[in-house]
Every structure is written in C-alpha cells, then in structure tokens.
Amino acid sequence: MAIPANQALLHMDADLLDFLTQSLNFTPALCNCLSFDGYNNSIDFVDWTYAKISKYCEVKSTKLPTRGGCNWPERKKKDIQGFAFYITQPSLEGVQVDVAELDANGDHVLTLVIVREFCEAAKISEDKGDEVEKKKPDVLKSQDWVEWEKSIIHYLYGMKNRKGVPLSYVIRGNQPQNVQLISDEQMIYAAALNGPQFNNDSNKHRWRFLVTSKV
C-alpha cells in the first residue's frame, strides 16, 4: 500500500497533525508514515522509547514509499524522540497532554525548543536505564538500626526511576526548611507520593533489598 505524499491520512487526529506540521515542521510524508503505522493520536506515542524510535526511523528510511517507507532526517527523528518522551512523562501520573493548547499569542504551548530539550532528556534516560544497581545494604541487625537506615536512603538515592528522580523519594521525610536544595533533592521533594509512577516505583523496588534482612 502506497502512502500518499501530498496529504496526511485521514486517520491522524487533526490536533496532532496540526501540531506536527505547524510546530515541529513535519512534512505530510512524515505524518503519513506515522499514521500508516498507527500513530494517529498523542496517546499512541506513550512509552515509545528512544531506542525503538531510532530503529523505526532507520528501517523506514530504507523502504520505498510504496512499501510504507519514508526518509527520516536525523533532526526529525530526534524531534519524535523528544515528543514521545514529553508525552510519556505526564501519562505516568495519569495526565494526558493536550497538544492543541495555545498560548495568549495563539501559538502552541508545546514548542519545538521544548521538544528538543526533551530529546536530550530521553537520551540521558535511555543511557542511564530505569535504575543503576548499587551495593545493597548489609543484613539488618537491631543494634545497627541508625546506620542501616542511612544505608537504605543512600542505596535508594543512587537509583533513579525513568523520570530521573532518585528512588529515595518514596521514603522521604519532611522537607528541610531554609535550606538550599540541590537539583536531585528538589526532585525528591517535588515528586508525587501517589499515582501510577509512585505505585510503580514503590511496588517495583519496595523492600527488594529487605528480603534477606533480619531484625
């Protein structure tokens, strides 16, 4: 099935099509390519990872338009990577991004500049992975509780979720007052203690290292 090169397929959401062509400067051919493969709504881009997008664009660039192919310039590949990462983050908190949202001047709130910043964040997240394994705390002994608690916090601080937030946020205490927080600390105290992302982090990592601990 050939993809029409001069017009977008009718399956793509009008707001998404307008955003891609007006804000990200996508050609109709690129939009058609995405629509051809089922990327017709913003929600379709959720969890489309940096690596998978790279592979998708690589494969599509080798195919003829008559076989669903399209040449993907490097810059447009990065824009889709940034857009997918931007769309995915709020979805973890149960929020859907409105790509049609406009500012007071009638321009899209989500801009090309923002998308390209998120492409860099997506690359960092992909390189880092969901977490960095650290040395687990030693087996708990009742007389070592204070030191053991510190080791847990340190252990979780060295592991980050897919949004780059240290996992120690799931057991954080009250935010210290009148203290200048570094970037990681700001993320720890800003992270929500409810919603899909928190549930995933707490369930996935919750007390995994306590299995072998003994009080």
Higher pLDDT, 60 or 111: 60
pTM: 0.59
Q: Count of CB atoms within 10 A of residue 161's CB?
A: 22
**Phi (first) and psi of residue 166, to 5 degrees:** -55, 135
pLDDT band at 139 (very low <50, low <70, confident <90, very high): low
Instruction: Give the pair of three-digit tokens for residue 105.
Output: 């001047």
Q: What is the pLDDT of residues 95-107, one digit of tens each?
A: 677 888 877 777 7
pLDDT at residue 152, rounded to an integer = 74
Query: Are residues 93 and 192 in contact, defined by beta-carbon separation less than 8 angstroms?
Result: yes
Kindly tell me if the per-residue pLDDT of 61 is higher than 50. Answer: yes
Query: What does pLDDT average to over the chain?
Result: 77
pLDDT of residue 190: 86
Structure token digits, residue 16: 């998404």
One-letter amino acid at 59 equals V
- Four-point Cα dihedral 28, 34, 35, 37, nearest 10: 150
Q: What backbone torsions phi and psi does residue 158 show, to the nearest 5 degrees?
A: -85, 0
d(Cα 89, Cα 110) in Å, to the nearest integer? 14
pLDDT at res. 157: 73
pLDDT at 66: 78
pLDDT of 77-135, one tens digit each?
A: 999 999 998 888 776 666 677 888 877 777 778 888 888 888 887 787 676 554 444 45
- Answer yes or no: is pLDDT of 195 > 60: yes
Q: Which two tokens stand for residue 187?
A: 């993320």
Q: Name residue 86's amino acid.
A: Y
Facing residues of 160 across strands?
166
200 band by pLDDT with thresholds 50, 70 and 90: confident
For the record, the structure tokens of 51 come out as 């690596």
Mean pLDDT, range 14-39, rounded to an integer:
91
165 pLDDT exceeds 50?
A: yes
Q: Is the pLDDT of residue 7 over 70?
A: no
